[in-house]
Structure 1
Amino acid sequence: MKRFILLVGLLISLCACASGPKPSTSPKLPYDSWYVGLAAPRHMEVWVETVDVLDQRGLPFFHVFGGVASYTGKVEGWHKGGGAMKPVNNVDLPERIFLRWQSLVEPQAYKIRIPIPQWVREEMVKPERVFCPGSQKWKVDYRDSITLGMAPGGIVKVWVGGACLDYKEVGRFQAEIEPLGPYIGKSKGQYIPIEPENKAYVEQHGIPYGSW
């Protein structure tokens, strides 16, 4: 219950401060929105404080995503893309993505600015005809999703992919420690409570640094 109350309070505060410009024209993309996915290795619980985007028009958008990530099937190593997805509406393709999160198993707060190369934006608007396993039909699809994978030690991996297309790795990045702590000092050093299952796993097995 304590965890639930804390989450609700923080979510309300995040929603209240979400902001961004109101462009006069919508992005000219072959789809209504692109997606951001959040992922982490199994048991390596994270809480994402914010995902901010600077799009290719040079417009900033704050708090386009946040909260819990989805988890891979194993602790060590990565899957390729996917994760807890959210559409990013009325935002052009990303030029930079700013990420701030809490690694709850350590615990530690991290932040990073991730440059998105031009080839990624080109991939995101390139149509490909593909057989989609879900619908069992051929269709034209796009790599309209960017996944941010977060691991202890401030490791971030980024992929670009689509619902019916494979994911391509964009890069592996090293975040820096947020010197002000969780919520840039607004929570007075208090982290989101870790789930008991994940806490028990780390106490028994430790954190496999270097495996990501």
Structure 2
Amino acid sequence: TRFGINDLPVYSDLPEEFYICWSSFADQTFYRTKLVVPLWARQEMVTPHHYYSEAYNKNKIGYNNTVIIGFAPGGSVTGWLIGVAHPDAPSIEFGKGITERIPQGSDVCPNPYPNGKITDITPKAKAWLKKHGMPKAWQEKYNNVTMGQYLKLKNPPNF
């Protein structure tokens, strides 16, 4: 790939794993997640797709070359591929993350918050959660979240 004013070469490879430290404002918890990009998803990223471009009034070739990572309270992490293959093309889900809860004040991940405390959510968001509750998909019992040092996963993340 060429990039920049001087047309400098940029060398990169497809991602195989993401290691992410993050915090949930809704449940006031720190998490650490491993998200694996399977081989079929990496192959999809380099597969050309033909589509018709309304803007250029001709056929073009595009790739699903963008990784989107979604985070939800309760430790739920999902990865999708999107790209310029077609403007109306749906995203492709490639996997769920393996997540571990991290105690507040832990040295495992950098903590950008003042005094180590996660910023509170807005009053409007609090009112919505109080009225509707935490969606089932966001609740820990429906996610792959470890709750303590004694619980073991079949395929634990190697952080």
> What's the TM-score once normalised by structure 2's chain length?
0.65
| Equivalent position of 1:39 in the other structure | none
In terms of fraction of residues, the more strand-rich structure is 1
- The verdict on how the C-alpha distance between 1:90 and 1:101 changes in structure 2, with shifts beyond 3 A counting, is farther
Gaps of 5+ in 1: 1-28, 33-88
Q: Which amino acid aligns with 1:114?
A: L
Per-residue CA deviation, residues 7-39 of structure 1 (Å, 9 max, x unaligned), is xxxxxxxxxxxxxxxxxxxxxx5x86xxxxxxx
**Large movers: runs of 4+ above 6 Å:** 133-136
Q: CA deviation at 1:184?
A: 3.8
Q: TM-score, normalised by structure 1?
A: 0.51
Q: May I ask how many residue pairs the two structures share in their alignment?
A: 127
Alignment of 1:188-199 (within 5 A): 188-199=115-126
Q: Distance in 2 between matches of 1:203 and 1:119?
A: 41
> Which of 109, 113, 132 does residue 205 from structure 1 map onto?
132
State which structure, 1 or 2, has the greater radius of gyration over its C-alpha atoms. Answer: 2
RMSD (Å), alpha carbons: 2.9
- Listed as ranges, the gaps of 5+ residues in structure 2 are 4-9, 143-159
Per-residue CA deviation, residues 154-195 of structure 1 (Å, 9 max, x unaligned), is 011111121324321101234111234586456433113423
In the alignment, structure 1 residue 123 sits paired with structure 2 residue 52? no
User: After superposition, where does 1:138-157 map in structure 2 within 5 Å?
Assistant: 138-157=59-78
Identity of aligned residues (%): 30
Give, in whole Å, the separation in 2 of the partners of 1:193 and 1:135: 47
Name the CA distance, whole Å, in 2 between partners of 1:177 and 1:145.
Answer: 27
CA distance in 1 between counterparts of 2:78 and 2:29 reads 18
- Whether 2:97 is the aligned partner of 1:173: answer yes
CA drift of 1:135 comes to 6.3
SS at match of 1:191: coil
Deviation at 1:124, TM superposition (A): 0.9
- Between the aligned partners of 1:116 and 1:192, the Cα distance in structure 2 is 31
Give the deviation of 1:92 after TM superposition: 2.5
